[in-house]
Structure 1
Amino acid sequence: MMIQVREYALLTSDNAQPASMDLGIVSEATFSWLEQLQQQWSGTSQILSREGRRFLRLGSYVGYLQSPTGESIEILPKTTLDVPAEIVPLRQLLRRMLSASFGITPREASQAVLQRSDQPLHEWIISEFLRHLADLVRKGLRFDYHLIEDEHSAFIRGQLDVTAQMRMPPGRGTQFHVRYAEFSPQRIENRLLRTALDWTLNMTRQGQSWRQANSLSHQLNGIVPISGSTTQSMRQWSDGKYLFGYRAIKPWCQLILEQMNPDFQYGSHQGISLLFPMEKLYEGWVGYGLARALHHDYQLIEQTKSQCLLEHVPVGEKSSQRWFMLKPDFVITGGQTVVMDAKWKLLDSRADDGLRKYEISQPDLYQMFAYGQKYLHGKGTMMLIYPRHQYFATPLPVFRFDEDLSLWCVPFDLESGGLVKGEWQDSFRCFPDDKPKVVYDEPQNSHAFHE
């Protein structure tokens, strides 16, 4: 059983309530499990918060949750103030944003895979991982030399450790203490792939994915999975030219081993947790679109922190310290310097009065003012980028901090992956009008990037 909701939806076990995308009805067992998660996660992030006695409120996280009873909750992006009519477009949007954020380029898939638009997010990740792994196995895994020390060898192989051999007790003179290099597939990358494969074999509920995972498991039978921390092991993954063929599968393996959190199912909470902060996914999607639309003479810098809010010399210290680093999402440099921030929030152009102020957050404006003073020295143009929807389809009129510093609020088309055109273009020379429109979608016959 699976329910679909969107960000900030309420979850309850009260069957008397009418279910919708903003109110999910779950079983008592699942609700109790969610209450335990809420207590565990309350100190780290606002994934779940209690709202009354019988309700839990989701935060700005999207993805997939599966309780130990098998009941599933799919959390989709909230892209409109109205309730969305269809689930499939939201799933496709989430996949595009996830792919852009993690640097994943989906390859062309078979028609059978393309028709499975009803796959939840974790099954889609599993199917893509298996497809890449099958291709890698078909081309051939990379081997490496590994040093083996054997103190019970029946014959001399490689180098004899004379000192250790002389210390052998009586009666074991026919056993040799040797040291040799073995050419085997037991390198860290293959072991991580085997670990991810074992987990997908246990967790997938799609028949085709299970059969493919089972077949690959037999082909990789001799490779030993990782027993310790997979996060530490992922840092040892080599990106050299020798492993060029492994680059496509690495982000899929990383998603499974780090984001799906395989240890979660074996712990006290047992289940599947695959959640992503929507703000980060949106920033990655916007950054992808901006980079493709930018004039070649300009450079897009993401998450820079070259400026701070203030400098301070503490008592007893001789040198000043930089406090409160300012980190805008995007800074464009070249013939013009521009500061841009992406905000995952639905503005409302109908709220054009001094009370509601288009629902723009006042702290966001303070933040942009500080960016303007430090990065632009109080002179220039900045931009806040919000998702486009039916009540925010065109850029708002320009906002001015003073005669030298201005701010534009511009919609970002989630489907096409580009800024909505408008008067703001006269102030931003870094985006040429003749630049081709960037589209990253899932057409009927291909999973690919298009321009």
Structure 2
Amino acid sequence: MPDFTVREYAFISVAYKDCPDSSLEHAYIPEKAFEHLCEIAASFSKHGAKVFELAGRRKLKLDQYVGVIETPCGTRIEILPKHLDLNGTSGQEIILAERKLLQKMLSVSLHLPYREAGSANLNRFKQPLHEWIITQFLASFEHLVQCGLRFDYNRVQEEQKFLRGQLQHIKYMRQPPAKKHVFPIEHDVYEVNRPENRLIRTALEVVCKKTKDANNWKLAQELRLMTIEIPRSQNIRQDLRQWQSGRLLALYEEIKPWTELILGEYMPVSTQGEWRGMSLLFPMEKLFEYYVAYHLRRGLPEYNIKTQHATEHICEHRQSKIFKLKPDIFIERPNAKPIVMDTKWKLINQSDRYGRYGLKDSDIQQMFAYSHFYLKHESEVMLVYPYRADKFDYPLEDFLFRNTTEARLRVVPFNLDEPHKFHAQCYCDVS
């Protein structure tokens, strides 16, 4: 089955005879794959996760989730962020740029041990997201095997004709006379069978089945032969809870997040017991929030920057506080008023004055509540949107809240290609 690459808010339809070629904005997939997407759309909707929206009997519209979806028939759909305009740019350039962006944002948001090493790694942007994850996992696993896997003592109970370890006296005394020459014993075996290795081995089996990249497949088969003595995990969740950390397992820290990605199969809601394939979906709103907060912490180390800070409530009900106010980013500054910031993954237009630049009433009302309850209208609140060349490349003129003297709302762009400059653009001066 062919793979499809689309962007946020793209349409997905059933392929029919003489249908147009699939593009970044509209993919035409097999009917079985479309039916499966409809089923999971209904399942997600029950849990409040809006991944697809019906746009007709044979058409779906994607929402703000990015990643990969695999269907039982083998169809794989890669969903990329919608950040760049198609005008004057080829589809392949858009795909490479947005894959690069998504990989950087995932690395920051999920704390993935991923490094750029110059032009030698530029080819990875040509890989779909799932192949990039597989590549990183295999590289970490290969390094781990070269450095040496960790062994552990496991308690074994067995019957032998010789004594080893500890004899189970009660069990031995209850044996019939005909079995007196057989000793029920209990002893420890020093072996590679431990939770971390079982999980990695299980992830490797998934990789061997799912990868379509020749280099990944070759390396996966080599590692499979080298670690054939490691059993697969029989209870993934339990083994994940038993994954240990410490000085002796420092080498395992690098591969752990990649293993969790492959085995955890990030989805908006649990679909345990149903087909999931290698499906990984992430909300762009959250990825953008974590990405902005990460670079703020790097650019403003002397500030205390918190995410999802929730200390205030709008109402009191029956002598208890209710309806939390939870700004995305809360910046505490020494000898200065704090700043409240919300990130919005939405493309706005600085020249659309009569359309209010694309700002939503609910967002402005939310920022007013933050200003009132967190800042007493004595400092500024900020809305952060993605930077767009010639569309939103400088902060909008400040919005002043009525009946206040110092409270203002600032709407600022965040340049995803130059995130280190953001703290200067939003006037969070460290001086």
Q: TM-score, normalised on structure 1?
A: 0.86
**1: CA distance, partners of 2:292 / 2:394:** 17
Residue 222 of structure 2 corresponds to residue 215 of structure 1 = yes
Deviates more, 1:24-33 or 1:273-282: 24-33
> Compared with structure 1, are the counterparts of its residues 212 and 89 closer, same or farther at alpha carbon in structure 2 (3 Å cutoff)?
same
From 31, 51, 58, give the equivalent of 1:47. Answer: 51
Q: 1:188 aligns with which of 180, 195, 210?
A: 195
Q: Provide the rounded CA distance (Å) in 1 between the counterparts of 2:181 and 2:313.
A: 70
Q: Where in structure 2 are the equivalents of 1:59-98 lying within 5 Å?
A: 59-80=63-84, 82=86, 85=90, 86=93, 87-98=95-106
Residue 134 of structure 2 corresponds to residue 126 of structure 1: yes
Q: Structure 1: which amino acid aligns with 2:325?
A: L
Q: CA deviation at 1:104?
A: 1.4
Where do residues 268-283 of structure 1 align in structure 2 (5 Å cutoff)? 269=275, 271-283=277-289
1:88-127 CA distance string (max 9 Å, x none): 1111111001111111132456976542432110011001
Most deviating of 101-110 and 129-138: 101-110
Please report how far the alpha carbon of residue 380 of structure 1 lies from its aligned counterpart in structure 2 after TM superposition: 0.7
Range with bigger deviation, 381-390 or 166-175: 166-175
2:265–2:278 Cα contact (<8 Å) kept = no
* Equivalence map 1:17-56=2 (5 Å): 17=20, 19-44=22-47, 45-56=49-60
Partner of 1:439: none
| Structure 1 residue 158: Cα displacement | 1.4
Partner of 2:237: 231
- Number of equivalenced pairs: 416
- Contact kept, 8 Å, 1:231 with 1:258, in 2: the verdict is no
Contact 2:296–2:422 under 8 Å retained in 1:
no
**Richer in helix (by share):** 2
Cα offset, 1:374, TM superposition: 2.3
1:253 partner amino acid: T
Shift of 1:61: 0.8
CA contact (8 A) 1:395 1:420 kept: no
Counterpart position of 2:343: 342
Cα distance per residue 1:38-68 (max 9 Å; x no partner): 2222223111111112210111111122333
The residue number in structure 1 matching 2:366 is: 367
- 1:442 corresponds to which residue? none
Structure 2: segments with no counterpart, 5+ residues:
none
Secondary structure of 1:200's counterpart equals helix
1:229-283 per-position Cα deviation (integer Å, ceiling 9, x unaligned): x23432322222221111111111111111267xx99965464422111111111
> Residues of 2 paired with 1:368 and 1:147: CA distance?
59
- Equivalent residue, structure 2, for 1:416: 418
Which residue in the other structure is 2:327 paired with? Answer: 328
Q: Which residue of 1 aligns with 2:307?
A: 302
Distance 2:109 2:370 in 1: 24
Alpha carbon RMSD of aligned pairs, Å?
A: 2.4
CA separation in 2, counterparts of 1:81 and 1:88?
14
| Cα pair 1:156 1:178 within 8 Å, conserved | yes
| Counterpart in the other structure of 1:164 | 171
Contact 1:161/1:177, CA 8 A, preserved across alignment: yes
- Structure 1: how far apart are the matches of 2:232 and 2:266? 17
Write the letter of the residue equivalent to 2:303: Y
Higher mean C-alpha displacement, 153-162 vs 89-98: 153-162
Shift of 1:27: 2.5
- Structure 1 window deviating more from structure 2 (333-342 vs 25-34): it is 25-34
Report deviation, 1:3. Answer: 2.4
Query: 8 Å contact 1:11–1:55 — kept in the other structure?
Result: yes
Q: Structure 1: where are the runs of 5+ without partners?
A: 314-319, 433-451
Q: What amino acid is aligned across from residue 216 of structure 1 in structure 2?
A: L
- Equivalent pairs: percent with the same residue? 37
Task: For 2:72, give the aligned amino acid.
Answer: P
Higher relative contact order (CA 8 A, sep 6+): 1
